[in-house]
Amino acid sequence: MTNKTGIKCALVIMAVILSACSNNQDSKPKDVKHKTAATAPKKEQNENKSDKKEEAATDQTAIQIDGTYVGQIDNNSIEVEADGEILVLRLTDETRKLLAALKDGATVSVTYKKDENDQNILEKIVAVDSDEVEQPPTKTLEYTIDGKKIRKEAALIQSEQGYSFYKVDDFEFTAEEPGKDLLFASPYAETFVRIEPVADDASIDDLKKWANDELEAVGEVKEVKSSEVAGPGFANTELFITASKDSYTKYIVIQKQQSGKMVKYTVNLPKHDKSKEWEQEIWAMLSTLKMK
């Protein structure tokens, strides 16, 4: 009788112990799991927001252009006309001091950046005839393809013909013959531009006649609106004509620089998968060309 009672007591004690252990195991993981589910997403979300802010802060490439200083809008903004368009630039305390040396209508070199609100923030502005003007080794070129704005880094090129421009990596540049240079697509050299500074005593009428004769060998010669084809950088041209046939399109352009000097471009554009992209890169590069 005593043994049976002892066995029953032992069984009861063991059951109580097992029940207590089971309750502890059920409750602790639930608490931990609940806290983790509530706090982890917030932490990840905060980290993602921080990363995005850092990316936005670092994605600010300086843009350098030349244009005409129109004047101040107010104490915080100025206007510069560049490539036929008015550019509004926001001033800082430092850049506001630079305006004292400028006159309305002066030709200026401008460096600016876009902030997170897409506003143009002026970093530097100097008159082009100032000793402070120095072309940077690289520049960001902008052009549009099918409504999409493209930005590419370009490197400064100095020609022995007395001019400079910015070149993207898709193209190579070389001297072709006395008085002429060649800019061509690296993967497909048939896509090229022949660059030829025009002599001061050259007859514009003769140049136009020779250009027409050259294009007539390709097809019907058409005069086109330069700014619509090549962008606002070509608003000031003496000649902008084209002819095409099934396999390619050809342009001959005579552009007048702000200095009054002229340069002739012969642009050869065979059909290719990248023809549209290369053509816009060509116009973007040539719009940066400056005669010394």
Boundaries of every domain in the chain: 63-127, 138-291
Q: What is the mean pLDDT of residues 75-91?
A: 91
Best CA proximity match to 70, nearest among 80, 60, 55, 84: 80
pLDDT of residue 166: 95
Distant-in-sequence contacts of 150-155, Cβ < 8 A, 24+ apart: 150/280, 151/61, 152/281, 152/284, 153/61, 154/284, 154/285, 154/288
Question: What is the pTM for the complete model shown?
Answer: 0.63
What class has domain 138-291?
alpha beta
Question: Out of 59-73, 121-135, 218-232, which region has the weakest mean confidence (pLDDT)?
Answer: 121-135
Indicate if the pLDDT at residue 31 is higher than 50: no
Q: Which CATH architecture describes the domain 63-127?
A: Beta Barrel (2.40)
What are the φ and ψ backbone dihedral angles of 226, each rounded to 5 degrees? -60, -45
Confidence of residue 15 (pLDDT cuts 50, 70, 90): low
pLDDT of residue 276: 92
Contact 101, 109 (CB under 8 A): no
Q: What is the CA radius of gyration of the chain?
A: 34
Question: What tokens appear for 16 in the block?
Answer: 């109580």
Percent of the chain with pLDDT over 90: 53
Confidence of residue 19 (pLDDT cuts 50, 70, 90): low
